[in-house]
């Protein structure tokens, strides 16, 4: 693994890499599902070990106070999603939607996705980060099309084409950063090492950096799901397996956001470069308002929550665009709350689609009566993601609105308007699905509620009480982001 010594980062990368190969060879579902869960659990525990011992930076590996937030969140949601995946995929086997060959491929790609996302987060090389995010894109493209239906294949191709355009723009932006660094750093590997770049960036050509960030923002913004680069995301959510929808919304969008934040720090450290904040705030607001309107037009429940992800990524990017200690703190908190809440919602939606046999909102009725556990899980999830107290999303949105009023009062108008738009759409759709006339009796036999309960409990706790060490940690990271 690039000559890495044995430490937490080595384990974080080695376990999913080895597991991907092993799971590609195992034919049995139950054993493969257990190995998948065990591997993601070990990866999460290895991520927690980074709090105790951080490896020294090298040309390829960097663990600092910024990326450890993303690493821990990534591995935790990866683990809980693997637990949900075991029960979800068991139902897909019984109904014949997936075969043994599909399952070997699915589990192998799941671990390959975890490896590529972890690599993107821990690497100190902007070129390796680009490769890792491209690898994550390709693995999710393959998983989106795993059902082999015409709609799934179309969604996978759409994702592949738009994702390739985005990653090509990001590659060009990365090359421009290297070109800007070459006069100050020289040719060779140092021109791609982030710690070297951030130390020497005041001497870089600001004009090249400005152009580079525009390409990087558009390229990685495609993966974040920002409007107008979002078109792949609703189709990918609707047609792929629901565990992949949870990973896409809860994790992969964050990985692309992490790349944007790294390059934002480069521009902020160059006195002649433009401020990246206005571009980020503009794309974030555009995504929020656009998604708020589109939520009213969705007829597929997974597409609806895909647009909800676009909305919330817009809020997060807007917060980081506004900048400052409070907005950055709120952006980090909202990113964490969104990952936990949205993945839990997809856990519920996945089982709901299985027990009702449909993803059409009009055909999902009265869940609190026909399937009480799933129905009330959906109610809790929608209340939480809509930003209602006492959940953590309310806390983070309140802080974002407060910081916007303090720094840019006029921008608070479209921000609050977009939040209210989305709030109304989600409650409108929830009413019929949860409290309408039931479509039929029965409860699912293979639903896994533990991941949902764990996520909702964490989001509720964050809304009621944030532990002092967590607040201090996020405040420190917010200060790093400027």
- Position 1 scores a pLDDT of 44
- In this prediction, the residues of the chain whose per-residue pLDDT falls under 50 are 1-4, 443
Backbone angles phi, psi at 188, to 5 degrees: 115, -165
Q: Residue 85: how many CA atoms within 13 Å on its side-chain side?
A: 28
The full set of domain ranges for the chain reads 275-482
Name the token pair of 308. Answer: 């909800």
Name the token pair of 244. Answer: 């992949």
Work out the angle at residue 229's Cα, subtended by the Cα atoms of residues 287 and 425, and round it to the nearest 5 degrees. Answer: 35
pTM of the model: 0.92
Beta bridge mates, 125:
193
Backbone angles phi, psi at 6, to 5 degrees: -75, 110
Burial of 319 (0-12, 13-18, 19+ CB in 10 A): buried
Residues 309 and 335 sit within 8 Å (Cβ to Cβ): no
Gap between the Cα atoms of 216 and 257, Å rounded: 11
161 Cβ neighbours under 8 A, 6+ residues apart? none
Closest residue by Cα to residue 37 from 82, 77, 76 = 82
- Position 3 scores a pLDDT of 44
Farthest-apart Cα atoms in the chain, separation: 70
189-to-185, 193, 194, 195, 434 alpha-carbon distances in Å: 10, 7, 10, 12, 56
Backbone angles phi, psi at 224, to 5 degrees: -70, -25
- Position 362 scores a pLDDT of 84
What pLDDT, in 10s, does the model give residues 169-190? 999 999 999 999 888 888 888 8
Q: Residue 238: how many CA atoms within 13 Å on its side-chain side?
A: 26
Beta bridge mates, 61:
123
**For residue 337, how many other CB atoms are within 10 A of its CB?**
27
- Position 371 scores a pLDDT of 83
Name the token pair of 131. Answer: 């490769």
192-to-128, 166, 197, 214, 448 alpha-carbon distances in Å: 9, 20, 7, 18, 44
Reduce the secondary structure of the chain to three states and give it as a string: CCCCCCCHHHHHHHHHHHHHHHHCCCCCHHHHHHHHHHHHHHHHHHHHHCCCCCCCCCCCECCCCCHHHHHHHHHHHHHHHHHHHHHHHHHHHHCCCCCHHHHHHHHHHHHHHHHHHHHHHHECEHHHHHHHHHHHHHHHHHHHCCCCCHHHHHHHHHHHHHHHHHHHHHHHHHHHHHHHHHHHHCCCHHHHEHHHHHHHHHHCCHHHHHHHHHHHHHHHHHHHCCCCCCCHHHHHHHHCCHHHHHHHHHHHHHHHHHHHHHHHHHHHCCCCCCCCHHHHHHHHHHHHHHHHHHHHHCCEHHHHHHHHHHHHHHHHHHHHHHCCHHHHHHHHHHHHHHHHHHHHHHHHHHHHHHHHCCCEHHHCCCHHHHCHHHHHHHHHHHHHHCCCCCCHHHHHHHHHHHHHHHHCHHHHHHHHHHHHHHHHHHHHHHHHHHHCCCCCCCCCCCCCCHHHHHHHHHHHHHHHCCCHHHHHHHHHHHHHHC
Residues 262 and 318 sit within 8 Å (Cβ to Cβ): no
């Amino acid at each position: 693994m690039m000559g890495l010594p044995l430490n937490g980062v080595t384990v974080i990368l080695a376990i999913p890499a080895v597991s991907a190969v092993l799971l590609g060879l195992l034919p049995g579902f139950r054993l493969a599902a257990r190995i998948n869960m065990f591997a993601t659990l070990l990866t999460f525990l290895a991520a927690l070990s980074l709090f105790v011992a951080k490896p020294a930076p090298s040309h390829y590996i960097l663990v600092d106070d910024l990326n450890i937030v993303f690493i821990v969140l990534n591995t935790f949601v990866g683990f809980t999603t693997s637990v949900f995946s075991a029960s979800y995929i068991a139902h897909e086997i019984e109904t014949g939607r997936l075969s043994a060959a599909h399952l070997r491929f699915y589990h192998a790609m799941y671990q390959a996705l975890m490896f590529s996302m972890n690599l993107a987060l821990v690497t100190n090389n902007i070129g390796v980060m680009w490769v890792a995010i491209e690898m994550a894109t390709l693995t999710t493209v393959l998983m989106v099309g795993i059902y082999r239906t015409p709609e799934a294949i179309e969604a996978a191709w759409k994702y592949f084409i738009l994702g390739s355009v985005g990653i090509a723009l990001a590659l060009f932006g990365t090359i421009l950063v290297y070109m800007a660094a070459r006069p100050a750093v020289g040719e060779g590997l140092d021109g791609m090492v982030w710690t070297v770049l951030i130390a020497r960036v005041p001497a870089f050509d600001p004009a090249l950096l400005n152009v580079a960030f525009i390409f990087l923002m558009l390229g990685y913004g495609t993966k974040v799901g920002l409007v107008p680069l979002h078109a792949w995301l609703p189709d990918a959510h609707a047609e792929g397996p629901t565990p992949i929808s949870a990973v896409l919304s809860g994790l992969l969008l964050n990985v692309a956001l992490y790349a944007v934040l790294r390059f934002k720090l480069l521009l902020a450290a160059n006195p002649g470069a433009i401020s990246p904040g206005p571009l980020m705030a503009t794309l974030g607001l555009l995504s929020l308002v656009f998604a708020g309107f589109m939520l009213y037009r969705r007829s597929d429940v997974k597409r609806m929550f895909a647009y909800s992800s676009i909305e919330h990524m817009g809020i997060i990017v807007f917060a980081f665009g506004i900048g400052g200690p409070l907005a950055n703190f709120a952006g980090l908190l909202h990113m964490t709350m969104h990952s936990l809440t949205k993945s839990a919602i997809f856990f519920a939606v996945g089982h709901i689609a299985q027990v009702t046999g449909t993803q059409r909102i009009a055909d999902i009725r009265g869940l609190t009566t026909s399937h009480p556990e799933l129905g009330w899980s959906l109610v809790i999830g929608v209340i939480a993601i809509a930003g209602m107290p006492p959940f953590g999303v309310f806390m983070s949105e309140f802080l974002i609105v407060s910081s916007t009023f303090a720094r840019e009062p006029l921008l608070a108008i479209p921000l609050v308007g977009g939040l209210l738009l989305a709030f109304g759409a989600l409650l409108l759709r929830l009413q019929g699905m949860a409290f309408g006339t039931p479509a039929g009796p029965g409860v699912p036999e293979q639903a896994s509620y533990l991941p949902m309960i764990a996520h909702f409990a964490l989001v509720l706790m964050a809304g009621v009480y944030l532990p002092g060490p967590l607040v201090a940690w996020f405040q420190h990271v917010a200060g790093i982001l400027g």
